[in-house]
Amino acid sequence: MKFVDTAKIYVEGGHGGNGCMSFRREKFIPKGGPDGGDGGNGGSVYLVGSRSMLTLYDLQTKPHFRAERGLHGKGKKMHGRSGVDVFIHTPLGVVAYADGRMIGELINHDEKLLIARGGRGGRGNMHFASASRRSPRISEEGNPGDRRTIQLVLKVISDIGIVGFPNAGKSTLLNALAHSRYKTADYPFTTLAPNLGVLKSAKRNIVLADMPGIIEDAHKGKGLGIQFLRHIERTRFLVLVIDITMHQPLKQYRSIVKEFEQYDQGLMKKPRIIIFNKIDLLNRLKKYNIKERTFYVSALRGDGIKELGEYLSNEN
């Protein structure tokens, strides 16, 4: 299924049912009091987080949702049934916006977020009786439900985000750590959407995310730009992958850090390590002195992968 991380949906809460105007009519009771029941409330529309979903593709192809209206009240103080709620399942990490304002996000499985409230049902005439008005010919109509346009943005949730320039070997590293089989090739932007893998450890399973390649000025939207950067907001730990065979590898490192600073200072506070990849292509290994913990690996050949996996398992 195609990976889609944004969607616009149109939602409408159900209309409330009308209250009833009715009077008690039975044998030997010719002038009974008011007994009109209330209308039912309209159904509401909720987003529901689901760990089994990974994309917003279904919501992009089916964007309209309307909850059921409430039934009208009846005589003999019979209230109308409330409308059935609508539940829209989304991946974890979805943020919902309405009118440019964030209204909530879904982080946990089965977590619910109300996005369109159903209309209140109208009151029947039994509510309007008083000492001075014993036969009220008044009832209320139900209220309409909320009608809104909701913008959904998916920010992938993972324990570790693998980031780097295009063609740095990120997908190959993910395959080596998680024993997965994501597409790799010797050209830039092979990865166009986050790939997820699981690093199994003695303590727990750790979710890895291979992010699309970053380039200079990504924070301005260049390349995959913001689509890439927003997905690393929810990672707890960052792995920066540098192609050690490139001219001036540290320039890649500085460019990535600069993009983090320009996009969101919060990214600078996340713990990170540096991976110098493709050491199998070097005649002589040169090591660099930087403040972060560094590893020198060949993701393709497997050099250094065991030690890297053990470190990530212990740190996460």
Binding residues for GTP: 164-171, 189-193, 210-213, 277-280, 298-300
Which residue type, as a one-letter code, is found at position 182?
A: Y
Element (H, E) at 250: helix 249-263
Give the residue numbers of the binding site. 164-171, 189-193, 210-213, 277-280, 298-300
Give the residue numbers of the binding site for Mg(2+). 171, 191
Extract the tokens encoding 5: 């991380």
In whole angstroms, give the CA distance from residue 91 to residue 106: 8
| CB 36, CB 20: distance < 8 Å | yes
**Nearest by Cα to 98 from 154, 43, 152, 42:** 152
**Nearest by Cα to 136 from 285, 21, 18:** 21
| CB 115, CB 47: distance < 8 Å | yes
Angle (nearest 5°) at CA 199 between 193 and 201:
165
Q: Provide CB contacts within 8 A for 252, sequence distance 6+.
A: 164, 165, 168, 242, 243, 246
Which residue type, as a one-letter code, is found at position 72?
A: H
| CB 21, CB 127: distance < 8 Å | no
As a residue count, the chain comes to 316
In whole angstroms, give the CA distance from residue 18 to residue 289: 74
